[in-house]
Every structure is written in structure tokens, then in C-alpha cells.
Chain A
Amino acid sequence: MSDTFFSGAPHWTWFIIPYFFIGGLAGGAYFLAALLDWFGRPDDRPVVRTGYDVAAVGAILSGLLLTIDLGQPLRFWHMLFQSANFPAIMFKGWSPISFGAWGILLFGLFAVLSALGARAEEGRLQMPALRAVGGMVRGGVAKLVAGIGGLIGLFIAGYTGILLSVTNRPIWADSPWLGALFVASGVSTGAATLILLSPRRGATERSLGWLSSFDARALVVELIVLIAFIVSLGSVNRVWVSVWGLLLLVGVVWFGILAPLRMHARRQPLASAAKLVLVGGFLLRLATMLASEGIDRYRVAVGL
């Protein structure tokens, strides 16, 4: 039996699961938007602007979900500053939850700046202060912000998996592949979100076609990493003999990866495939979180 079965469940459930999903999606969307900002064509701008909006809203929602989940929400700032020695910085480079807190803050900052820049570009900012900030994020500054923010976005998509690996819980700490899996899933769900939302901002078929072909490749990467994850679990895989295993197999592998891949290959409607990718991405977090959360050390010890 893995030694991880004797640890206690942290009760990371109904705020953290949506956070893992939204954070991954927002990080992935920002990364793709930044990539198109740097290397795309002018007609990719609607996708770029949508990606920045998704990232900004996602970052704000992520911060809210993380704060609400705390046992003492008003002490959220203790993760950033030393409470007894303010304003000294609180940072542990070896603790994913510590560098993740800073990551979310920086991600939010860059995502909001990019989103304001994009909105200023469209002339959609009414408030003078916001218009002034948005007006500064243009040209080279906008690219620099997007470049750094896009890399932070990739980090946000994946650090949650590293956070789970750096515990002593069953499944999470029994494999080093969760971070890689969440990166692939985050980028894939980010692409799916852009496929669904960017047509409203005037995305061209050419942009959507690139997103679709990239999403198919990301899904293949996700599937390969998911297989590596399952193989690495070894005897711990017996925990999947449960409703969570069924959800992983049917919800994630079949509906979330294989079905959209088939739809991409057959050039079926992009929106349908994108919706399935989003459902699969959410179920991936749900299954990996709750399969572990459900294991109680007391019941393991008494053989129940």
C-alpha cells in the first residue's frame, strides 16, 4: 500500500475544483492570445482580444475562489506578506502554494493590463483612468506585457498540478505527471474557450481553423500525458475502481478527448468539439480531486 494512504484529506473541493478549471483555462487562453499577438496576423486580433478578456476575468474569478475557500478569508494577504512583519514579503520558492499565490497576483496584473490595452485598441473604455492605463499598453509595451503574461499563463495552467504532487495525498503525490497534465488540459480548454467566444468579437475562419488544429494537437498531448500519469500510479490505480474512475474514462478520455479529436478530424462544427473539451477539462479536475479527497486515513487504517 502506498504511504500516501495515511495522510488526511485537505477538503479542497467546491471552490478549488472550479478554480483549478478556470485558472487553467484562463492561463491557456492568455498563452494562446499572447502567441497570436506576437506571431499571428492582423486578422487574429479578435482572438487576441478575447484571450486577454478571458484571462482577466479568469484571474479575478480565480482570486475570489481561492479567497472564499480559505478558513479565514480576510487573512488572504498572509500568503503575500509576513503578517507580523508587514510589508516584508512572504515567499517560499519550494512551496507551490506560496509561489502560486504570487503567480496568481502577477497573472491578474498582466492579464488586466493586456485586456485594458485590447479594449483601448477597440475604443471600448469609457472611464478616463482605465482609458489612460489601456492607452499605455500598446505597441512594444503591449507585446512585452503579453510575452511575460503569456508565460505566467502557462505557469498558472500547470502549477496547480505541481501543487497537488507536492503533498502526501493518494493519487496526487503518487505521480509527478499531474502538472504536465494540467498544462496540456489548461491550454486545450483555453483554446476551446477562444473557439467558443472569439467569433462574437469577429474572429475569422482562418484564426478559428488554427485554434481548432492546435486544440487537436493539445488533446493528443493531453492523452499521452494522461496515459503516463495512469501508468506512473502503479498499484494506486485501484482507487479508480470507483465512480471517479468511470468519470475519468468516460467523461474525460471519451467525451473530453477522443470525441473532440474525432470531431476535429472530421471537420465537424468547432463549437461542439470545444464544448466537449471544456466539459472534459472540468471533469479531469473533478475526478482527480475527489478520487483522492474521498480516501479517509481512518477508514484505510481499519481496513474499511
Chain B
Amino acid sequence: MPEPMGFFTDTTVCIGCKACEVACKEWNQLPARNGGVGELSGDSYDNTRKLDGIHWRHVRFIEQFKGPYDGRWLMMSDVCKHCVQAGCLEVCPTGAIIRTEFDTVVIQSDVCNGCRACIAACPFGVIDINPVSGTAQKCTLCYDRLKVGLEPACSKACPTDSIQFGAIAELRTRAHKRVDQLKAQGVKAELYGADPQGALGGLNSFYLLVDEPEVYGLPRHPQLPSRHLAKSSTFSAASAAVLGVLALVGLRKRRMDEMGGGGGGGGAGGQN
């Protein structure tokens, strides 16, 4: 049994070259245009904008400028987090989303029917419909490459090793050392998703960030969609019970009124 594999993304060394995006598209044969429509952001050098059904890797450009000489660029190569407790896998009604032997989360395109429940369930907004297949798609962590002992295309292409691929336990050790190194240099650095006791049981694709998670478009406390299931079901059942009782009370009152006053009745209509 292979050990859990994943990515450690050190955002401090990302240069925004988007080689990972290109490598991902090339290996996975993803179209450049969304259903034939070219979409440009128009407000950023980040022209691919977000993760979706045809962008399984996305280098986010965060432009923090207060003035012409006071600012910085943050770059982060974003991808599916391959959550240990995955919301998408939890809700998928067709069984298309599976956990692999590498502890990664993969959508089987030939099983998915495009119901889009997984899109709404993912706390990171990773999944979307691929216009070519009509099914939900996202990063597979190059499952086909892993099966034959190859490294995923994105990390292989990354020229600065911002994206590091390997066994999760080893990556965590490496990440903590890097955080210590940066903190010693006075850089505010934190790991996001590296804690196996943390949100969603830890993320098999985790990040080193130098600002708040929200700045990178990441939720601070990602949660499973099922957190509301019991409460929502209870409230719905209570609402149904109240309506049922009201209906029965109304029927009983009608009967009592009829017994007391002889009742009305007859004739169709009664309206307009």
C-alpha cells in the first residue's frame, strides 16, 4: 500500500510563471478556452483567474499595492487540496468521486453525471464543469502518472520548486523547517492545511503563506458540508410536524363546527 502523497506549495518562491498551469493543461489535454469562449480577467495580469473544469492548476496573482512605490506581489499556485475528509466525496451521489491508494481524491469522468453537488460542497471552490465532457472535473494529482511512478506534471515543471511533490509526512517535515527558516529571517510565515488534527483532517495539498488565508482566497476554517445535516433535518421535521398538527387541528375544528352548527357544504366553486 503506497503512503499518502501530495503537494507542499511554498508560495514565497513562486514567480508566477504559470509553467505548472501549462504543464497541467498539456498533460491532461485540457482546452485553453472555456467552451470556445476566451475569458480574460481584464483587471489583473492573472489572465486565467480561477480554478475550474479546464484549469486544474491556477497561479493566483495577489496584487497588494498602496501606491506606485509601496506594494508587493504574492503568487500562489492553487490546486485541489485532496482533503483527508473531502466534502466533494461526501456528497457525490453517483460514487464518481473516489479516494485512491495514494490518499488523493479523484473524479471518475465516466461515472460523473454532472449534477454539480460537489461544486457547491467544496469549501475551496476547486471543482467546476468541464464544457467538453459535461462532467465535474478537477486535479487528479496526476493519478495516471503516479500509477507508473512518475511525478505530477505541475511539480515536475515548476522551475523554482515552489510546488513540491512527495510523501505527506516527509513534506510536512520539510515545510516546518522552511517556516522556521523564514521566521528566523523575520518573515511572517504560516502553514495552511498541514495540521492533520486541523480542518478536514488536514489537506494533502498544503501551503506556506505569508499573509492571511483570505488574502489568497482560502477559507480560514474550511468545513464539511454535512455539518448542518442533522440540525437542518431536525428543523425540517419539526416544521413538517407543526404543519401536520395544524392541518389535523383544522380538520377537527371543522368537524366540531359542523356538529355544532349543522355545517355548510354543497356546490362547486366558492371563489371568484
Contact = CB atoms under 8 A, between A and B. Distances in A.
B94 A79 contact: yes
A154 B124 contact: no
A79 B113 contact: yes
B217 interface: yes
Contacts of A78: 93-96, 111-113
Contacts of B169: none
Nearest to B214: A1
A180 B92 CA distance: 23
B243 A95 contact: no
A180 to B, nearest CB: 4
Interface in A279-304: 297-298, 300-302, 304
A146 interface: no
A40 B119 CA distance: 45
A235 interface: no
A178 to B, nearest CB: 7
Contacts of B122: 7-8, 168
Nearest to A98: B93
* Chain A: interface size category: 35 or more
Contact of B120 (A69, A169, A210, A271): A169
A288 to B, nearest CB: 13
B219 interface: yes
A90 B93 contact: yes
A186 to B, nearest CB: 9
Given A7-B124, A78-B111, A90 B236 contact: no
Contact of A158 (B52, B239, B258): B239
Interface string B112-131: 11111101111111111100
Contact of A39 (B92, B93, B94, B248): B248
B114 A154 contact: no
A63 interface: no
B223 A168 contact: yes
B91 A71 contact: no
B239 A206 contact: no
A83 B111 CA distance: 7
A146 to B, nearest CB: 14
B222 A3 contact: yes
B146 to A, nearest CB: 21
Nearest to B249: A217
A254 interface: no
Nearest to B242: A221
Given A71-B129, A225-B239, 15 more contacts: A6-B123, A7-B219, A35-B248, A72-B112, A72-B114, A75-B94, A95-B92, A154-B244, A166-B229, A177-B232, A177-B235, A179-B239, A214-B250, A218-B243, A298-B50
9 contacts: A6-B124, A95-B93, A168-B87, A184-B239, A206-B264, A206-B265, A209-B254, A217-B246, A221-B242
10 shortest interchain CB distances as A-B pairs:
A71-B114, A301-B217, A179-B236, A205-B270, A8-B125, A71-B134, A3-B219, A180-B239, A75-B113, A167-B120
